[in-house]
Structure 1
Amino acid sequence: MISAYRKEKMALLKQFLHLARPFWGGKTQWREWLLLASIIGFTLFSIFMSVKIAAWDKRFYDALATFNGKAMPALIVEYCGYMGLIIGCIVCGDWLQKRLVFRWRTHLTERFQQNWLGGHKHYRLQLAGEPDNPDQRIADDIYQLADKSIVLFRSFINNIAKFSAFVGVLWGLSGVQHFTLWEHGFTVRGYLVWVALAYSAASTLLAHLVGRKLKDLNIDRQHREADYRAALLRVRDHAEQVAFYQGADAEQGRLQQRYRRILDNWRRLTNCEFRQETFWAAYVRISIFIPIIATLPMYLAKTLTFGDMMQTRTSFARVQDSFGWFTDSYRRLVEWAAVVERLGGFQAALDRADGQPENAHPNSPSVPSHAYGGGLGWGQTPETSAHSVSTEPAPPPESSSTQEQVSDASKGSLKAAVGRILESDATQRQPETAHPISPSAPSSACGGGLGWGQPAEPQPSEPRPALILAQTTVHTPAGRAMLRPVSLTAAAPEWLLLEGKSGIGKSTLLRVLAGLWPYYGGQYRIEGSRLFLPQRPYLPYGSLRDTVSYPHPCRLADSVLHDILQQVGLGSLKNRLDEASEWHSRLSGGEQQRLSLARALAARPSILFLDEATNQLDDQASLALMQMLKTALPDTLVVGISHQSGVKALFDRSIRLQQAEAG
């Protein structure tokens, strides 16, 4: 049991060091270390003043006991000077402490935000279902970690300094005590120090026994509070849908259920805190009388003056506080441990996501290992995320940026596979009509003549493929194949339609190409800038111009933005470019999709991926918008999913995805 307890505490310490090292271990953090040194300096100086006040106690109370009124004015002035210096130390130390806490919080927040949003980890962690409530961990737990860590460290240093300063004073005041027990004589030196140690040890043990459940209850409280807050936000974000469904009563029931979980935790937490606070109240009151009772025999024996007794009380309280630091700080330590555990778990989940290959998934016997060879993740580079897009036109093919993450060993296999695809395309040209793709007969795409393994010059009339899939397939997180392997090439200005029965994995294949879905096999290559338009547009809070150019800063002239809004049927908004608003709640579903298409006109990507991008518009409006898009983006390869017959007719070629065979 002791070994398990020790392992738990060591694991907690390792988690804290892992969280703190990037900030405190940096070579440029000398300002923060200077702040910490200043805080410690003010703390030590205040302890020095406390020693002076303890000596003042003896002189003041001795003068009081002898009715020495002449000494009082000087003693009062001296005390006021000490108090002024101590107050200055406390105020300055607290001010510097707040600055240091905010610096640490800022560093942690920026690091966690960047890590969470980088590499699509916010999406991948959501797929994995861990950890819960990352918003609370970033917004609240980070502050709690920085604040409680600094406060506890300063308190610990303060107590170490108090012990060092007062233990000698208390030892000297204790003198040498002789007593007889069972006809044996004993001599004890510094017995008041031993009394303080014994009292603090007993109090610490009792405090731990009384409050040992507090950590788990605090962790559970944070979980339940965050779940309730998330449910409230969900109602706020879907207020219109809830109103349409007349769902207020249903949401009230769900909210009450979440709140009852908070009440259940609160009852157990308050019961535990009641026991802990009862113990604490008794501990504080008893601590006041322990030094008086311990010194009373010496005072009655006239070996101590009244001033000595008061000085002993002050010194005993300081030493006993030092011994009892764990008891005094028990609740804060429990809350700190809960925060470290939650943030440590969040960091561990992010680290696991960092170490997860782009197409890795849990080991599954149903998925052969060779399907996850070297060519994974060609849709992503460290510099540019798979869904990001340049606001400038794509560079010419010979200078375009190809996004690759492929090992040298696997490049040969991909080149050979693509060479076979392109060779088949060159010898068997297919008319640009609908046809299926099967793993046994990979379909060609428009264009050809790009064989990496062939010295032949490409035909000038045929564009270079911007999208290449080589035996690409999609899997579930459990490793089950969803699609038969797909092999194809495509180039601008082709419009390529992905078809297949509902739920087969069409949208998931687009997620693979966006670098979002890590569970896939085979290889793919995307060349040039790209933009993905999902079914549900994301409209962040901000100005309309920033919403149109999202996720990049807007560099387009107002006249260009006016034309774009007019083209997508949102001309009524052209005079509201600088209006900041919650556009997702101000615009209808169809208007949001129009605004999403405006992003494509603003970005002019090399490849545009459309996932039911007009499914909230009527057929006539959808057809008109898609015709406009085809005219406005003549140099863009469009890969889309749609169930609207009019829109489907605009595509030059269709690929019917086939469901993978069971087993």
Structure 2
Amino acid sequence: MIRVGRPSQESVPEKTPRDAAGRSLLTPVSSMRSFWGLMRAYWVSDRWKEAWTLTLVIALLTALSSKAGVWFAEASGELVNSIAFFHDAANTTPLRSLLVNAGVLVLLVVLKDAGFTGIRSLVSATLHRKWRGWLDSRFNEALLDTNHTHFHAQHGSSGNAAPDNIDQRVQESIKDMTGGAIGLAMGVLGVATSLYFVGQKLLENSAEVKGLEFLGSYGSAVLAFLAVATYVPLNTWIAVKLGRLLERLNVRMQQSEGSYRGELTTFLRRSFHVAASQGEDVQKTMHNRLYVDIDRTWARLNIVNTGYNSFELIYNFIGARIVAYGPGLVPFIHNGFDLKGYITGSELVNSLISQCSWFIHVMPNIATLRANSQRVIELAQAIENVQHPQEFYSQTGRSDFHYTSQNPVFGLTIQKLELAHQGEDATPFLSAANLRFRRGEWTFLKGESGCGKTSLIKAINGLWPYGRGTIVFPEGVKSFYAAQEVKLQQVTLKQLVCLPGSERDHGDAQVASALHKAGLGDFIEHMADESREGKSWDQVLSGGQKQKLVVARIVLQQPGLLFLDEATGALDPDGKVAFHQAIKDNCPDVTVISVMHEAVAPRSMTGSEFYHSIVAIADGVATKKPLVPTLPAELTTILVQPRPVPRPVEDKWLRFSRRLKQK
């Protein structure tokens, strides 16, 4: 009897909509689909103590650095005053005063830059490392879940294209975004603390200004605040305009760099094939085309950056030499300040302008932060969108697959299956009315190239997006999908054999036995190595050896349901026989569905058939039939019974004559 509901994870690779409704809708990155959600996620996570401790230390050091800026302004005033009055008759110890004030100023610089600022840099770098590591783990967990999110996220929907260069988003965008955000946050905090400490000191040292007597003793402070409030916002508006252009160019630059780097990575992985096909010229043309986009964007970015740097230099000079010294000049002329008070007040205004100008100074960083955060948010949104794959694919076509389970005695069943391509009106290219695969049955999937053999295997395993039908798995049975191309990860040979499990799940003896049975016994002594002679296992092993490695996995994992998608394409005829024989000998009850291009299914060395049935695909229809026609079970039972041995004819005649005599 078929049980409709959530099948075992061992037998069904994808969750059904009914199952999805019962599980949590949250992914590890669900809260990161907005800018502020992305920014605060780390601080409200299970590692909030670590995040807030580092943040508070940074805040304390920033406040001390701002306070040191006030001390620096006062010390600068004292030093200038000691220089100005060096020859004054009232100054009895001019040299001593000069050296003491200079020493205090140097000490304050060391305390601020090497002490407060230096330690803050170390703590902020630690926060950067911790935050980036946490985000990286969240996105890795979200992408590498049992829902195959990393696979589905590379498909676009009707409203949004698939995110480009996911590797660049996870690696570079997260790294640059976290570093930029911490730097900007420290800048904001620095502005706030400077406004408090510097503003407080300006008010303390404020003097009356002629013509502004109604302000009383706060006249010079009001002039200083007014100068800052006029100069900084006006130039900030200009910086924002330039920053938006920088942001667009930064996004474009990241896309171009990511595409070029991705193509280089792909090229290096297929270096042999390029060399064998002498495709270097085509590869160079492709690289040149991709780099042209980088070069054009870079040229525009250089022009904008140069203009922005010039604007910033002019802004800094006017702010430090004119705006900072302007407000205190009026009271100084009218003897409201002495030289010391004037220099101190001007340095305080300069410090205030410098701190309030953080937005202008870091506008390129803000543009980069916005660009990086946008790319990370897009990835988080793409991850969230594919949590229900059928709903996601239904936006661009028909996707109505149902995955259920049944008693393992009945094996695997496929009902009313239709496979199509993207589009609501797409015509199915493959249909299968009713296919049943019994436990222990080996089935050979046959058809012309492009008829849909691999697509059928993918659909059974939940990896084909468009179509409809019901796939009923044997409950509690482990499945194994051996793809045509074998790509090996950068791990130990033992871990490669133990996939998809962990190397801790199996002992060395078990793995060694599996390697021996698969014909890879020569590599047993290298099980614990991630490489051999400086090369990864993906480079060391040939195509045939990689497919033998798949046999070792099958022998070790003992699946009950095995899908072979041209898994013997790189083996010679004897190797193909050995491949099948190893599975036959070590997995006696496995159900096998195999895609091959051979006209005739391979047989064992004794001539017996490995396969029991054939699924032939012709004219878009998949039909199943026995490999060798069989008679009904009743006739088969009679024919296999031993025939009675007849007695010799002479013996019958003797018995007949004997009876006549008796009569």
Q: Shared topology, TM-score over 0.5?
A: yes
1:608 to partner: Cα distance: 0.8
- Give CA deviations for 1:584-614 in whole Å, capped at 9, x if unaligned: 2222222221212221111111111100101
Q: Are residue 476 (structure 1) and residue 421 (structure 2) matched?
A: yes
Supply the distance in 1 between the matched residues of 2:233 and 2:66 (Cα, whole angstroms).
Answer: 23
Supply the distance in 2 between the matched residues of 1:584 and 1:553 (Cα, whole angstroms).
Answer: 19
Q: Are residue 512 (structure 1) and residue 531 (structure 2) matched?
A: no
Q: Which residue of 2 aligns with 1:622?
A: 576
| 2:439 partner letter | A
Q: Are residue 578 (structure 1) and residue 532 (structure 2) matched?
A: no
The one of 31, 36, 43 aligned to 2:55: 36
Q: Are residue 569 (structure 1) and residue 516 (structure 2) matched?
A: no
Preserved CA contact (<8 Å) 1:623 1:646: no
Q: Which residue of 1 aligns with 2:615?
A: 655
Preserved CA contact (<8 Å) 1:200 1:324: yes
Query: CA, structure 1 residues 13+153, in 2 after alignment: closer, same or farther (shift >3 Å)?
Result: farther
Q: Which residue of 2 aligns with 1:284?
A: 316
Q: Are residue 529 (structure 1) and residue 495 (structure 2) matched?
A: no
Preserved CA contact (<8 Å) 1:225 1:262: yes
Supply the distance in 2 between the matched residues of 1:130 and 1:608 (Cα, whole angstroms).
Answer: 31
- Give CA deviations for 1:25-62 in whole Å, capped at 9, x if unaligned: 22551221121011101111221222223233333333
How many residue pairs get aligned? The number is: 556
* Structure 1 gaps, min length 5: 1-11, 181-186, 379-401, 403-414, 416-449, 451-462
Preserved CA contact (<8 Å) 2:181 2:369: yes
| Map 1:136-285 → 2, pairs under 5 A | 136-171=168-203, 173=205, 175-179=207-211, 190-285=222-317
SS at match of 1:357: helix
| Map 1:374-453 → 2, pairs under 5 A | 376-378=402-404
Q: Which moved more, 1:107-116 or 1:354-363?
A: 354-363
SS at match of 2:316: helix
1:217 to partner: Cα distance: 0.5
Q: Which residue of 1 aligns with 2:447?
A: 500
| 1:652 partner letter | H
SS at match of 1:645: coil
Supply the distance in 2 between the matched residues of 1:146 and 1:250 (Cα, whole angstroms).
Answer: 39
Q: Are residue 603 (structure 1) and residue 557 (structure 2) matched?
A: yes
| 1:266 partner letter | W
Q: Which moved more, 1:623-632 or 1:252-261?
A: 623-632
Q: Which residue of 2 aligns with 1:544?
A: 493
SS at match of 1:488: strand
Q: Which residue of 1 aligns with 2:101?
A: 75
SS at match of 2:413: strand
SS at match of 2:155: helix
Q: Are residue 98 (structure 1) and residue 48 (structure 2) matched?
A: no
Preserved CA contact (<8 Å) 2:560 2:590: yes
Q: Which residue of 2 aligns with 1:458?
A: none
Q: Which residue of 2 aligns with 1:467?
A: 412
| 2:611 partner letter | F
1:259 to partner: Cα distance: 1.4
| 1:230 partner letter | G
Supply the distance in 2 between the matched residues of 1:515 and 1:202 (Cα, whole angstroms).
Answer: 58
User: What is the root-mean-square deviation of aligned Cα atoms in Å?
Assistant: 2.6
SS at match of 2:131: helix
Q: Which moved more, 1:602-611 or 1:546-555?
A: 546-555
* Structure 2 gaps, min length 5: 1-30, 213-218, 603-608, 622-663
- Give CA deviations for 1:43-92 in whole Å, capped at 9, x if unaligned: 11221222223233333333332224243454345445534432322122
TM-score normalised by the chain length of structure 1: 0.78
| 1:656 partner letter | A
SS at match of 2:209: strand
Preserved CA contact (<8 Å) 1:358 1:515: no
TM-score normalised by the chain length of structure 2: 0.78
SS at match of 1:526: strand
The one of 124, 132, 143 aligned to 1:116: 143
Preserved CA contact (<8 Å) 1:484 1:657: no
> Which of structures 1 and 2 has the larger relative contact order (alpha carbons within 8 angstroms, sep 6+)?
2
SS at match of 2:443: strand
SS at match of 1:376: strand
- Give CA deviations for 1:210-240 in whole Å, capped at 9, x if unaligned: 3431101001111111111111111210111
Q: Which residue of 2 aligns with 1:6?
A: none
1:363 to partner: Cα distance: 5.5
1:138 to partner: Cα distance: 0.8
| 2:394 partner letter | H
Supply the distance in 1 between the matched residues of 2:525 and 2:201 (Cα, whole angstroms).
Answer: 78
Q: Which moved more, 1:621-630 or 1:149-158?
A: 621-630
Q: Which moved more, 1:116-125 or 1:516-525?
A: 516-525
SS at match of 2:430: coil
1:358 to partner: Cα distance: 6.8
Q: Which residue of 2 aligns with 1:354?
A: 387
Supply the distance in 2 between the matched residues of 1:630 and 1:643 (Cα, whole angstroms).
Answer: 20
1:311 to partner: Cα distance: 0.8
| % identical aligned pairs | 23
Preserved CA contact (<8 Å) 2:560 2:591: yes
Supply the distance in 1 between the matched residues of 2:33 and 2:613 (Cα, whole angstroms).
Answer: 56
Q: Which residue of 2 aligns with 1:8?
A: none
| 1:497 partner letter | F
Supply the distance in 2 between the matched residues of 1:25 and 1:32 (Cα, whole angstroms).
Answer: 9
1:151 to partner: Cα distance: 1.1
The one of 44, 63, 78 aligned to 1:59: 78
Larger Rg: 2
